[in-house]
Amino acid sequence: MPVNPADGLILGTLYGSDPMRAVFDEAAYFQRMLDVEAALAKVQARLGIIPVEAAEAIRLAARYNNLDRAEIAASARNVGYPVVGLVAALSRAAGPAGRWTHWGATTQDIMDTATVLQVREGLALIRVELVALMRTLASRAEEHRGTVMAGRTHLQQALPTSFGLKCATWALPMISHVQRLDEIRSRVEQVEFGGAAGTLASLGDQGIAVMEGLASELRLAAPTAPWHVCRDALAETVAFLGLVCGSLAKFATDIILLAQTELGEVAEPHVAGRGASSTMPQKRNPIASEYIHAAARAVQALVPQMLGAMAQDHERASGAWQAEPLAIPQAFVLTHGALLHARSIAEGMAVDAGRMQQNLKQTHGLIMAEAVMMGLAVYLGHGEAHHVVNHACDAALAERISLVDALGRDPAVIAKLDRPTIERLTDPAGYLGSADAFISRVCQKIGVLS
């Protein structure tokens, strides 16, 4: 019975994804450990360490269905690790060949390498969704190049921008995340094989050959030396997932704010009943964005757990290592779920360009104060232009008139700018600067990367 809601049959639909759970569930983990045992036997047979027929028997027996889960659980409870029971069950299923199982390996070799195999699958799923989200946001950026809206700083209208640039800005960190993921893989996708204390002494002078052969068989990299107590790559991987979730949370935050009744500029995709309230029929809550926030908080809370687990004592940790399985699977499951929510929003979000125009007009032109100031600065200097426009803004606010009208009665302004020029300077569509070029740069980068 799952205890974490992310793994539940019902609540799991909100927090994670079935494909990622399938990578990290207990059955998959034990099968990966069996895969490592089978690969180890095959490599050692090729090197003449164990009989070829023994390796084949071990390979055929290395199936999760051959395990008695109650027996493995009892052994794990007693021993403190599941590998002793797993090896006993595998040896029994392999018959006489079972005496050759787990040759020269130690518990952590099998568990760590199984974890790495899961991480490899997990990163592949994460990459697919990152690229899909990035491409979708780039498509929306192209679509809304000319959709002018209010840019906001400190939750206040600041200057005009375009919704296209906003989408490009959401996509921008995804570019870095794909690059980070590709870089991380070479560090984390390494076999772990060091024997009891990282020396492979039980294999004599064939230890490195076995390690390299095992890496090749599993399509992993061979480390320079065993990394039993060097946990940086796994910690880096979970920290990377925390970064991804941070960027998704920024996206979700903007969607939540833009969906507020008072703004109403963007809404999550509408499906009947989606985001509904049990008492208020009119509600369409930004529910996907809320679950992205929840996932981000949870994943980022797991990052310190992984960083703390790096403090490993001597050649085998006494406790730190056991904290990792509590963090790695959940971090992957929650991140993948958050990515799926974000992709759904990006693909189907409703954009209300008309409402954006209405909101631009709320300040009666004040959002264009910088544009007017820069136009006047040519004649008056920056400082004096700032003072003059600031005075006009104060008058517009106090008297509830437009900035154009306030400027049009200021002698210092009308001496330099006629009304058509003032009206041109206060047109939001004419003050987007390099927004269009930035969209092109982001979209071009995405096209090259993906």
Q: Going along 87-171, which residue ranges are E strands?
A: 148-153, 156-162
The structure tokens listed for 423 are 């009206």
Tokens 């899909």 belong to residue: 132
Q: Which residues pair with 221 in a beta bridge?
A: 190
Q: How far is CA 416 from CA 379, 382, 389, in A?
A: 7, 14, 13
Q: How far is CA 439 from CA 9, 48, 162, 448, in A?
A: 41, 60, 10, 14
- 3-class SS string, 218-239: CCCECCCCCCCCCCHHHHHHHH
DSSP secondary structure letter of residue 200: -
Q: Residue type for 142, please? A: E
Active site residue ranges: 277, 316
Q: Which residues pair with 162 in a beta bridge?
A: 148
Spatial neighbors of 299 by CB under 8 A, at least 6 apart, are 238, 241, 242, 245, 330, 331, 334, 335, 338
